[in-house]
Amino acid sequence: MVKKTSKNYNIYVIITILIIFFIILFYLFYNNYKLKKENQFFKKSNSTINNDLIMEKENNTNYYNQIFDYKKENDEILSRYNSLQSEYDNKVCMSVSEFNKLKSNRNDTINRDYRVLYDELYPPLNRSDTNNHTNLANNIMTRNMYIKTNNVDDTYRLVAYVTSNSDNKDIGNNSWKLFGRQKDRHRSEFYMTPTNNNNDVKIPLTDNIIVGEKVRDIYAIPNTLQFNSPMLNSDVYEVTEVPKADLTSNYI
């Protein structure tokens, strides 16, 4: 009877030990599983944070690049402004380059007026005082002021025909007469009217309606013109100048 009791006790102890072992094993397995899940969660969080940091870094880089571009553009604008301001400050009646060109030949207006008077093929300038422009040139050399420079009393006259072969017709039926006059020694004024005299339209030619090369000198008219005006086509117009000898007649 004692042996049987002892045997039962040993079995009980062994079962108890096994139960405790399995409980410890389960506990360790559960903790290991929990740690793995937490580790995965932290890894995912760290990955998200790293991606956010990378995106923030890229955004900051783009922002700094944009600031750099703005600064570069501002510096270019400031440089152009300073250049224009310098050119304006150095200008009395003409730019420095024009002054240097004039400086190489003071007698240009004398020769020009001589040809107007004695060369039948040279276009008339209609100047009220042939000595005025020579005096102006000489005074610019010494930077003297208060010499009459404006209004040479020129009158508008026909200088060219402006036509377009475009299928789109403008308000002048793509056929215009170009009139011009010399406003002063460095500038001319122009306007256009349709060749059809019954069409009472007059368009002053200002820089803001001309695309590309401008019309500023009555003796240097471009061969083609292109306009940005609702009254004219955007296609290229051909310019046919009136022969210079014909400018002696008044076409107005």
Q: What is the pLDDT of residues 5-39, one digit of tens each?
A: 666 777 878 888 888 888 888 888 888 888 888 88
Please state the separation of Cα 180 from the chain's center in Å. Answer: 30
Residue the block writes with tokens 């002696």:
248
Residue the block writes with tokens 């003409």:
94
Secondary structure letter of residue 123 according to DSSP: P
The pLDDT score that the predictor gives to residue 42 is: 79
- The mean per-residue pLDDT over the stretch 203-218 comes to 90
- Of 133, 61, 55, 57, the C-alpha closest to 93 is 133
Q: What is the pLDDT of residues 68-102, one digit of tens each?
A: 888 888 888 888 877 776 666 555 555 566 666 65
- The mean per-residue pLDDT over the stretch 187-206 comes to 90
pLDDT band at 203 (very low <50, low <70, confident <90, very high): very high
Rounded Cα distance between 206 and 227, Å, is 10
Structure tokens at 94: 């003409």
The pLDDT score that the predictor gives to residue 100 is: 66
The pLDDT score that the predictor gives to residue 154 is: 73
Q: What is the pLDDT of residues 115-166, one digit of tens each?
A: 777 777 666 665 544 445 555 556 655 655 544 555 556 788 899 999 999 8
240 by DSSP, 3-state: which?
strand
The pLDDT score that the predictor gives to residue 251 is: 41
- Of 191, 154, 155, the C-alpha closest to 176 is 191
127 by DSSP, 3-state: which?
coil
| Cβ–Cβ < 8 Å for 166, 137 | no
Q: What pTM was computed for the model?
A: 0.40
| Cβ–Cβ < 8 Å for 229, 164 | no
Q: What percent of the chain has pLDDT over 90?
A: 17
Calculate the average pLDDT of the chain: 76
- Longest alpha-carbon distance in the chain: 161
Other CB atoms within 10 A of residue 109 CB: 22
Apex 101 CA angle, 95 and 102, nearest 5: 90
